[in-house]
């Protein structure tokens, strides 16, 4: 019988299809990271509803998601200051989740790219 329930296993399966994404933990909870940066995780804070996932997105994208469907996307007081949105997994399908993780992947890798270039540049200068 096929599994129709979306849970963090589904998030992990989809997330690991993106280049460089690795399984990890965040505050002792399952997480996905790319280049050491958090991509998505099981919420560590108790303010999140069960069967939710925290996904990294920029604040503008988060505002659009919250406006588009507040039954799916939400933020608790704890997460207001973080570039992330909380997602009710019971209300998404595979395609929505893949698109959301793609958005997160672009955000995290775009954000990490200048840091990676800076580290590479420092190393090169030190070698000369």
pLDDT in tens, 60-83: 999 999 999 999 999 999 999 999
pLDDT in tens, 3-48: 568 999 999 999 999 999 999 999 999 999 999 999 999 999 999 9
Domains and CATH numbers, the chain: 8-127 (3.90.1150.30)
Q: Which residues pair with 84 in a beta bridge?
A: 56
Taking all residues of the chain, what is their mean pLDDT, rounded to a whole number? 88
Beta strand ranges found along the chain (DSSP E): 21-26, 29-34, 37-41, 52-56, 73-74, 84-88
pTM to 2 decimal places: 0.84
Distance of alpha carbon 125 from alpha carbon 34, whole angstroms: 26
Q: Which residues pair with 30 in a beta bridge?
A: 25
Distance of alpha carbon 87 from alpha carbon 52, whole angstroms: 5
């Amino acid at each position: 019988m096929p599994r129709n329930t979306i849970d963090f296993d589904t998030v992990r399966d989809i997330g690991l299809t993106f280049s460089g994404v690795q399984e990890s933990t965040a505050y002792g909870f399952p997480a996905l990271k790319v280049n050491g940066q958090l991509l998505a995780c099981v919420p560590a804070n108790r303010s999140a509803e069960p069967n939710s996932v925290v996904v990294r997105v920029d604040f503008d994208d988060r505002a659009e998601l919250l406006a588009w469907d507040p039954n799916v996307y939400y933020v608790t007081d704890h997460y207001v200051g973080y570039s992330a949105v909380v997602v009710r997994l019971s209300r998404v399908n595979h395609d929505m989740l893949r698109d959301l993780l793609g958005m997160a992947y672009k955000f995290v890798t775009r954000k990490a790219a200048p840091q990676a270039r800076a580290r590479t540049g420092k190393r090169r200068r030190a070698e000369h």
